[in-house]
Amino acid sequence: MPIHAPRRRAAFLATAFALLCQASAAPLEADMDAYLGRDFPAKIREVSVRETSIHIEGNVGKESGKWSLAEIPIETTAGTLPKPADTTILQPAADGSFALDLPRRKPRADKDYDRLLSRWQILRKTGEAEEVVSAAHYPDEVACRSPQLPAGKLRSKKGLGGWGVGHLPDELKDLGISSVTVNVMIHSLVSLTPGDGTTPFQWQGRTYHAQEKALAGLDATFLEAQKHGVVVSAILLVANPAKDSNPVVKVLGHPDATKDGIFAMPNFTSEEGVSLYGAILNLMAERWSRPAGKYGRVHHWIMHNEVDAGWVWTNAGEKPDIVFMDLYQRSMRMMDLIARQYDPNSRAFITLTHHWANRGEPHWYGSKRLLELLQRFCRTEGDFPWALAYHPYPQDLFNPRIWEDSQATFTFNTEKITPKNLEVLDAYMKQPALQYRGKLRPVHLTENGFNSKDYSEKQLADQAAGMALAWKKVSALSSIQTWDYHNWIDNRHEGGLKIGLRKFPDETGDPLGKKPIWHLYQAFGTKDEDQVAKPYLDVIGIKSWDDAIHKEPIR
């Protein structure tokens, strides 16, 4: 056999497997699209999860038949029913309306089961045939342990991405930071079996074991952030089971994930996977939302990373966009429902790259497309208070001269949204269809930075000019609440980029040296802002910062 034959055979098998996955997903894709587009005759109007009960109201419509209400566990794919479905007989009034209260907890497979995450759907039986006559509906309201827990207050729009305790302890104060993001590898927080340094806890009738050392490490980070009064958003990352043999990862990560992904989508294919995922989410939300802040506070939850590039950052294998979004929106809803039990102000954030109307790579989806799909799911199965974590990197991550970004135009169909055309993102999110109950959804810029190709004066000036232009736009756009600049410190494991506010920790002669953008970032939001930023007008070639703001309508 020729030496390259095994490689060709492996490539052939990989391609064949991908095509098989696509073929098997095609009917599901069509069914899901039809479900989201269907005009149902019946409707569930409200689902409220109370302390011990679930209140459900709706209307069965004008047709005759025998009616029932089906409970659909969250591991069930959108547009389908579990077999057999757990149903409750409905007795609607003459006008078709109904209202009932069901127990919140109910045994399931001999386990104590909280129906917090279930959605509900109306069925109609005529003769021997039974059909679905409404869309499923998730809970709208959730009883909260601490309804008076105050929301985190942003003192400014200035934040820091990927922050951690133990480095440069005065940095948050010196820079005037108001918000931070913190990465959390969620599998590290639990074990499936008891061991040294673990504490048992219950979720959905199953016993898991909290890893106290891992939790304590994060406690220290969140307590330090709390001491400085900054708003914390935790980025929840799922290790890839295709590349990690950890028993928790094997249950937690999506079984279709391929080795192409750095991280994975959570496992929604089994009750076991969903239960483990929910146990971890509940462990975090309960611990880091306590009124007294014993362990610190997490205000918001960023669900995974750059899901429009999910093939790399949130891998679930080959999936059509609508099927991928069904998995992802269920992950978002889980965090939303679980977190709102403890913090009424908590938000689950969708995280997206700068690739907007153009998806960027063949396996990617495009940020605009995923937002459109998320809207469809919300219109069909009930809205929830999700928010947006956007990553508006420059068109070329190595080139900080964003004013030259040719793919960033001022239309809703721009290929990319970079700092040059942030006005597009602001206008898009201000559309009534994107709002939640008539209010703007928060937009956080949770990752972006400007590269300095080296540490020469010119390259550092270009880097700072890109930052200054971006800040002036962020300051002028009301939908954008905060900018968590990434990266804090240059990192030799970031593909050759030097986007930090500081130089490499091991930089010869100037370890952790402050670049001009460190001083610029420090000045933002202070009386010194315009004076420190002024030299960069000449770098960009404009006379005033007002000249950089796009004021024409965006469509």
Q: What is the pLDDT of residues 234-268, one digit of tens each?
A: 999 999 999 999 999 999 999 999 999 999 999 99
Q: Contact 405/550 with Cβ under 8 angstroms?
A: no
Q: Cα–Cα distances in Å, from 405 out to 409, 502, 518?
A: 8, 25, 24
pLDDT score of 10 more than 90: no
Alpha helix ranges (H) inside 144-242: 171-175, 212-227
Predicted local confidence at residue 3, as pLDDT: 39
What is the average pLDDT score of the chain? 94
Phi/psi at 99 (5° precision) = -150, 135
Q: Contact 392/445 with Cβ under 8 angstroms?
A: yes
Whose CA is closest to 132, among 121, 117, 144? Answer: 121
pLDDT score of 374 more than 80: yes
* Mean pLDDT to the nearest integer, 411-422: 98
* Mean pLDDT to the nearest integer, 103-132: 93
Predicted local confidence at residue 84, as pLDDT: 85
Which tokens hold the place of 106?
A: 């109910």
DSSP 436: B
The span from the CA of 60 to the CA of 98, in Å, is 8
Counting DSSP H helices and E strands in the chain, the numbers are 13, 21
E strands within 127-205? 129-132, 141-142, 158-160, 179-185, 190-191, 198-203
CA torsion 152→157→161→167, rounded to 10°?
A: -80
Confidence of residue 127 (pLDDT cuts 50, 70, 90): confident
* Mean pLDDT to the nearest integer, 182-188: 98
Predicted local confidence at residue 22, as pLDDT: 52
Task: Give 223-227 contacts, CB < 8 A, sequence gap 24+.
Answer: 223/293, 223/295, 223/296, 224/165, 224/169, 224/296, 225/163, 225/165, 225/172, 225/180, 225/182, 225/296, 225/297, 226/293, 226/296, 226/297
E strands within 405-535? 443-445, 480-485
Strands 300-303 and 231-237, how do they pair? parallel
* Mean pLDDT to the nearest integer, 35-42: 97
Predicted local confidence at residue 24, as pLDDT: 58
Residues 6+ away with beta carbon under 8 Å from 93: none
DSSP 317: S
Q: What is the pLDDT of residues 398-411, one digit of tens each?
A: 999 999 999 999 99
The span from the CA of 419 to the CA of 487, in Å, is 16
